Amino acid sequence: MRSFVLLPIVLAVAFAAAVAVCHAMGINAHVKDLLAATLTCLVAGELAAIPLVLTRGGNQASVAQAALVGSVVHLFVCIAVAGIVVFGHLGPGPAYLYWLLGFYWVTLIALVVVFARSIRSAPTTQASRQ
């Protein structure tokens, strides 16, 4: 559940930092491409958190598998959306891919932190049902 709130905050901070650094250096930030990359990673990150929510209350093994599935979902959604945008000529220019690469790593780091905390907080064995 933390990732649903943490990811938009992390992406908003990264977006603001990217715009501020580009403005300070006098570089065109390509804000439309930056926004498209941010939204792509936001959608991918939120979809990646779903397997973790589905294993809530499970043991460490099931939560670890959900974290692995979540990281794969995150990667594949980013690749799929980037492929559709680039090969479909849907608007964003080449800067979209560069921004997407940066935001992919930012969201991956945030997801891994959430996944690791969830794995550590899960019980080592599941309680027996009677």
Q: How is the chain split into domains, by residue range? A: 2-121
Measured between alpha carbons, how far is 50 from 73 in angstroms, rounded to an integer?
A: 10
CB 73 within 8 A of CB 108: no
Alpha-carbon span 116 to 57, nearest angstrom: 15
Residues 71-125: tens digit of each pLDDT: 999 999 999 999 999 898 887 888 999 999 999 999 999 999 999 999 999 888 7
Alpha helical stretches, state H, 55-94? 60-87
Q: Give the pTM.
A: 0.87
